[in-house]
A and B are shown apart, each in its own frame.
Chain A
Amino acid sequence: MSAVPDLSRLEPGQELPVRHFKAEPVQLFLYNAALWNADRIHFDHPYTTQTESYPALVMAGPLLGDWLAQAANDWVGDAGQLCSFEYSNRRACYVGDALRSVGKVRSVDVATGEVVLELAILNQKDEVTTPGTAVVRLRRA
């Protein structure tokens, strides 16, 4: 985790730490088990590749959303809180993909402590699979 963000020094364009994610089947299984999600495209390889014609097992969309939320929430840490968060699953991610979350500061309101973050999951081809936005509130020092 990074250093605590300092509201008085934040500027638009400042980047959040990059986090790398290996899309792998054990985590995908545990995630869908935690949800109770039995969608075959997440665990049944013959069904997924032959019947649904995907290249590999498909990563769960809300898991990618969770990774984006972590990018914002971990950056804030104890210095404030996550107020709102939105994302969309624009492009599928697959088991075997090398993914990473990125983010940067879009705007800073020093009076309220409100900071808007632009977030994205990218794949190994540098395609944005999952864009998102978060609003966080930092405590003033």
Chain B
Amino acid sequence: MGVLDSDLLARIGTSAAPQTQLVTRRDIRKYSVATGQRQQRYLDGDEAPPMFHVALFWPVLPLTELSANGVAIDPLFPDVPGKRPMAGGIKIDFRLPLRPGDELTATRTLTNIYEKSGSTGALVFIEVTMQVHNARGELVLTEKTTRIMR
């Protein structure tokens, strides 16, 4: 194994505290205007467009907990010594539509850390999976974020 030590790998399976948020028509409308949605059901806030959950679950932290460049540090993504984040990808599986009045709970878990060799040295891939359930316990969506560190 290269840069991945046992302390780092032991963090696989760590979850953040679940977060519950209420979907409101006003928040859907703001998101729909800001993203340039063209379907009336989204602009009217009757239903949320596909990526609305990104805004719904963005962290709301005290100003003192933001870094100097204004960024909310995500505690689930560990520092990897000598590595910097360079890119990332997101994959989302949609199960149920989001509507005003829905009370949704997101659970985020560090699901994998692995290494691949690249042309400029080892690349470290860190995966965080977020599952969103509604108040009836039904799975609404799953989102897997992969951060690549170089």
Chain A residues packing against B (C-beta within 8 Å) = 1, 21, 27, 30-31, 33-41, 44, 47, 61-63, 65-67, 69-70, 73-74, 77, 81-90
Contact = CB atoms under 8 A, between A and B. Distances in A.
B114 interface: no
Contacts of B31: 34
Contacts of B90: 62, 65, 86-88
Given A39-B70, A73-B50, 12 more contacts: A1-B38, A31-B35, A34-B30, A38-B72, A40-B70, A41-B69, A47-B69, A70-B38, A70-B50, A86-B90, A88-B88, A88-B89
Contacts of B92: 84-86
Say what secondary structure dominates the interface of chain A.
Answer: helix
A39 B51 CA distance: 19
Interface of B: 27, 30-31, 33-39, 49-51, 54-55, 58-60, 66, 69-72, 87-94
B94 A31 contact: no
Nearest to A61: B88
Contacts of A65: 51, 54, 90
Contact of B39 (A37, A39, A74): A74
A24 to B, nearest CB: 11
Nearest to A72: B50
A89 B94 contact: no
A39 B69 contact: yes
8 contacts: A34-B34, A35-B55, A47-B69, A62-B54, A82-B50, A84-B92, A86-B91, A88-B88
Q: Which 10 A-B pairs have the closest CB atoms?
A: A88-B89, A38-B70, A86-B91, A30-B34, A31-B34, A66-B51, A35-B58, A69-B50, A34-B34, A40-B70
A90 B87 contact: yes
B8 to A, nearest CB: 23
A102 B28 CA distance: 25
Contacts of A31: 34-35
